[in-house]
Amino acid sequence: MVKQTKEKAKLWGGRFSQSASEILEEYNASITFDYRLYQEDIQGSLAHVKMLAKQAVISEREAESISEALIQVREEISKNPKEWASERISDEDIHMAVERRLIEIIGETAKKLHTARSRNDQVVTDLRLWMKKEVAELENLLLDLRKAFTDRAEQDLDVLAPGYTHLQQAQAISLGHFWLAHESRFSRDLERLQDALKRIDVNPLGSGALAGSTFNLDRDFTTKKLGFNKTSKNSLDAVSDRDFVIEYEFVISMIMLHLSQFAEEMIVWNSQEFSFIEISDAYATGSSMMPQKKNPDIPELLRGKAGRVIGVLNALMITVKGLSLTYNKDLQEDKEQLFMASDTVKKSLTIAIDFLKNIKANKEKMYHALTNSFVNATDAAEYLVKKDLPFRDAYTAVGQAVAYAIENSRYLHDLSLDEWKKFSELFTEDIITVLKIENCVDARDIYGATARTQVKARVDELKQILNK
């Protein structure tokens, strides 16, 4: 690398306040973000030296001295990791910075730490350990969100709302059923996360730079010591594989996508036109110009931030798509965005949980929407089918009734029995009861449907599952 002194840079510079060498150093370095791996880096090193001593590659005494110093360095960094890192840009990354500090503390012995190891296997070991912690945190957040939806479903079981297709009023549902639809999405996200964990939970340590090691390393020892579930099977693959990062980013993209869809619906429902819900003041802000405004900023950001997380997934897939085996420096690009995306999804979930708990459902407004709609048209058709009219004929008869009602500025539940009889002789007095909104909801009484008994049963089942 060509080194330019600051002095020289000034001569031809002017435009840049930094010398070329400083810009290069900064460009090449990852310590400004990978310092976040310091705990995992030291954890990995502690396991590595213990294994080296066990295999008589270094002495027990050397291992002990290195381990003590590693713990001291961890103490030092923990006081202010970001600041510690900011003073060590010239060390390039957290791995080099820790090693150099170790040499400062114990001298020659520290130089043995990196025996039979490369930063290539070291960095993915650190990253996998770090991601395992993130997965555990995300699992808890997803469980909390699912609990919050379940609680809402129980609370809003008797709130009836229009269900939509094409954002057109379709059929009546229990609001509880609606909340549990969102719960279902996040339950799949949790499954996906748990599945991705299988491929994160693999120990690459011992793969060296790419080809393994001439030393007789006990790789299963570090696997056990670090709490990994498996040992990687191919050293070339182990140092270059970032599939597990991509998969994780896909899972968190799905979580953000689901949060975004939920947020969008709440934004629409909170609008003056719908007024189905009111969001708590804490989640809204005023306009700097229009005094009447209460804008749903927080759900808008839940929706907006999905963009950056999905972007990170795309970015990494594009970064790796042209890479040859094995390690290439391009791979350093994985971490900064992963950290940002993981922070974003954790914050978003935390906010969504609280946001959901504080939504005020406007039961009257929803009911009003239902009674000023044709959401019970299917019920009228199915009524005829139960009297043995083929469905297509029933559909046509009720279609005519709908047209008649619209013409006369009425709804189906306003029609008298005499009026119904114009469309089919099969209608009798009980059609009036069948078309009552509550009955339309409760008549859909099969597994997975919206009848309140069904929703309640699912709530009970979820409470069992989630409170374990």
Tokens at residue 103, please?
A: 């040499």
Alpha-carbon span 54 to 57, nearest angstrom: 8
Binders of ligand ARG among residues 51 to 80 (CB under 6 A) are: none
What phi and psi values does residue 291 have, to the nearest 5 degrees?
-65, -25
What phi and psi values does residue 344 have, to the nearest 5 degrees?
-65, -45
Residue 409: active-site member: no
Kindly tell me which residue out of 43, 65, 120, 231 binds ligand ARG, with binding defined by CB under 6 A.
Answer: 120
**To the nearest whole angstrom, how small is the minimum distance from the Cβ of residue 126 to ligand ARG?**
9
**To the nearest whole angstrom, how small is the minimum distance from the Cβ of residue 30 to ligand ARG?**
4
Binders of ligand ARG among residues 8 to 47 (CB under 6 A) are: 30, 34
Q: For residue 32, say if its preceding peptide bond is cis, omega within 30 degrees of 0.
A: no
Kindly tell me which residue out of 49, 51, 53, 123 binds ligand ARG, with binding defined by CB under 6 A.
Answer: 123
Catalytic position from the list 65, 166, 174, 232 = 166
The piece of 43-51, 75-83, 116-124, 358-366 that touches ligand ARG (CB under 6 A) is 116-124
Tokens at residue 207, please?
A: 């793969």
Output 30 or 342, the one with its CB closest to ligand ARG: 30
**To the nearest whole angstrom, how small is the minimum distance from the Cβ of residue 35 to ligand ARG?**
11
Q: How many Cβ atoms from other residues are within 10 Å of residue 35's Cβ?
A: 21
Q: For residue 326, say if its preceding peptide bond is cis, omega within 30 degrees of 0.
A: yes
Size of the site for ligand ARG (CB under 6 A): 11
**Amino acid present at 228:** F
Nearest CA to 60 out of 71, 70, 48, 52 is that of 52
Output 321 or 468, the one with its CB closest to ligand ARG: 321
Binders of ligand ARG among residues 323 to 352 (CB under 6 A) are: 327, 329, 331-332, 335
Output 124 or 380, the one with its CB closest to ligand ARG: 124
**To the nearest whole angstrom, how small is the minimum distance from the Cβ of residue 77 to ligand ARG?**
17
The piece of 118-126, 258-266, 358-366, 375-383 that touches ligand ARG (CB under 6 A) is 118-126
Kindly tell me which residue out of 36, 48, 117, 119 binds ligand ARG, with binding defined by CB under 6 A.
Answer: 119
Nearest CA to 190 out of 258, 128, 93, 130 is that of 258
Residue 166: active-site member: yes
- The reply to whether 93 sits near ligand ARG by the rule CB under 6 A is yes
Tell me which H or E stretch contains 160: strand 160-165
Catalytic position from the list 86, 280, 287, 368 = 287
Alpha-carbon span 435 to 376, nearest angstrom: 6
**To the nearest whole angstrom, how small is the minimum distance from the Cβ of residue 33 to ligand ARG?**
9
At 9 the three-state DSSP class reads helix
The CA-based angle 108-45-24, given to 5 degrees, is 80
Alpha-carbon span 267 to 101, nearest angstrom: 52
Nearest CA to 146 out of 349, 410, 336 is that of 349
Binders of ligand ARG among residues 301 to 320 (CB under 6 A) are: none
Tokens 């709490």 locate to 227
Output 132 or 347, the one with its CB closest to ligand ARG: 132
**To the nearest whole angstrom, how small is the minimum distance from the Cβ of residue 323 to ligand ARG?**
12
Which positions are annotated as active-site residues? 166, 287
Site residues for ligand ARG per CB under 6 A = 30, 34, 93, 119-120, 123, 327, 329, 331-332, 335
